[in-house]
Amino acid sequence: MIKQQVLNRVADKSAVIGIVGLGYVGLPLMLRFAEVGYKVLGFDIDDSKVDALMAGKSYIEHISAESIAEARGRGFEATTDFARAPEADALIMCVPTPLNKYREPDLSFVLNTIDSLVPHLRPGHLVSLESTTYPGTTDEELLPRIESRGLKVGQDAFLVFSPEREDPGNPNFTTRTIPKVCGGVTPACQEVGVALYSAVIDKVVPVSSTRAAEMTKLLENIHRAVNIGLVNEMKIVADRMGIDIHEVIRAAATKPFGFVPYYPGPGLGGHCIPIDPFYLTWKAREYGVNTRFIELAGEVNSNMPDYVVGKVAAALNKRQKAINGSRVLVLGIAYKKNVDDMRESPSVMLMEKLRDLGAAVAYSDPHVPVFPKMREHKFDLKSVPFNAETLASYDCVVLATDHDKFDYPLLQQAAKLIVDSRGKFLEPAEHIVKA
């Protein structure tokens, strides 16, 4: 029986694990499978990533070159050749699911990947999709493509959805310790998927279907997006009333029940929270449902960069300066503190809006030495040094991402004007503006 053969190979660790997409999700998963003794074969369409990994190098800050070299020593290989897919027993897809210019789901990476794999699928393959997407993607898009190969899912091949839960830069949780949700197309698929992930994850949480697993991931991120939208709106109200929202949040967080602190900022960033709600709102329209609550939170969060720019304009104006012609330094362009991940970073939106208004924009970020190539944003910039002389040379310094590596006492002392969008400075000062 094919299912039992796959389960046996997973159990005795003779199964070869294929990771498709070697980015912030795929790479930690590869390291975990290699760590426990599986042979891992990594697939990516980016030659430079494959070359780096084969040389034992890392291109993600929080993943060390030593860990890549160790995985290589355990037999890990990376390739751009999808024809090698039959060598793997499991094919785990960790590819992006962005939005298109109309803020609609862009499944091109998922569909192109499965279309590249289908000609090479064989009996016994387990296919797992980890990319965040709308409920129905796995059984509407992947299932028919796999079965077009002549494989009966649940008998000849197995298909599950198991959403990624990586939190880059968080020292408290690892790939191993974050519980893993898994939903299968059939009970047999579920059994194989749970067995595979149980070999490397401390706790696997089975759900009844791939759609339930897809919806679980969306709920997790929409929960954050809505609460951040709420606290961003509260920040604007509190600011108009002359109240420090960060003081209020700290006070409210002392309540030991019924309140979870969320913190305002210059907008939402990362590959999940700014994007995932739109996957559900788009799919909900197919069922005649308007997701007004979710869309309102998205609207509030999307407007936060404009709010911060307005604060910059008002602060400069108070000093008889215009944004046009002013030198503005943006501190931190990663989407959150202490990482080098810039996906959907609100800092980049800030930089673009300031540039469009005529500011001479620069940035400083110890985690991003050179502004990378991005699909929708273009800056030919390098991180400027963080020192007293540099800080004093700008008309305004905008704290956009509050990295721990920044010297905040030096910033407060050296900068002429600080617009703080992260609530880092607790004590009021004449040259510090809360945004």
pLDDT value, residue 146: 98
Within this chain, domains 2-208 and 305-435 share the same CATH topology: yes
Are 9 and 125 within 8 A, CB to CB?
Answer: no
Give the other-Cβ count within 10 Å of 209's Cβ: 17
Instruction: Please name the fold of domain 215-302.
Output: N-(1-d-carboxylethyl)-l-norvaline Dehydrogenase; domain 2 (1.10.1040)
Which fold does the domain 2-208 belong to in CATH? Rossmann fold (3.40.50)
Distance set, CA 433 to CA 151, 319, 395 (Å):
62, 12, 13
- Rounded Cα gap, residues 435 and 416, in angstroms: 16
pLDDT at 281: 92
Place of tokens 């891992």: 40
182 in catalytic set: no
pLDDT block averages, 10 residues each, the chain of length 435: 96 98 95 97 97 96 94 97 98 93 90 97 98 96 97 98 88 92 98 98 98 97 94 96 96 97 90 82 93 92 95 97 98 94 92 97 97 85 97 98 97 97 92 96
Alpha-carbon span 412 to 75, nearest angstrom: 50
Reply yes or no on domain 305-435 having CATH 3.40.50.720: yes
Catalytic residue among 94, 182, 189, 272, which?
272
For residues 114 and 136, give the distance between their C-alpha atoms in angstroms, rounded to a whole number. 16
For the beta carbon of residue 70, count every other beta carbon within 10 angstroms: 15
What does the block give as tokens for 230?
């709420």
Annotated domain spans of the chain = 2-208, 215-302, 305-435
Residue 26, SS3? helix
Tokens of 3: 């299912």
Q: Are the CB atoms for 279 and 97 separated by under 8 Å?
A: yes
The two three-digit tokens of residue 411, written as one number = 């910033």
* Euclidean distance between CA atoms 299 and 297, whole angstroms: 5
- pLDDT score, position 55: 96
Angle at 391 between CA 387 and CA 393, to 5 degrees: 125
* Residue that is written with structure tokens 């739109």 in the block: 278
**What is the Cα–Cα distance from 266 to 32, expressed in whole angstroms?**
34
Which residues is 15 bridged to in the sheet? none
Q: Rounded to a whole number, what is the distance in angstroms from the first to the last CA of the chain?
A: 62
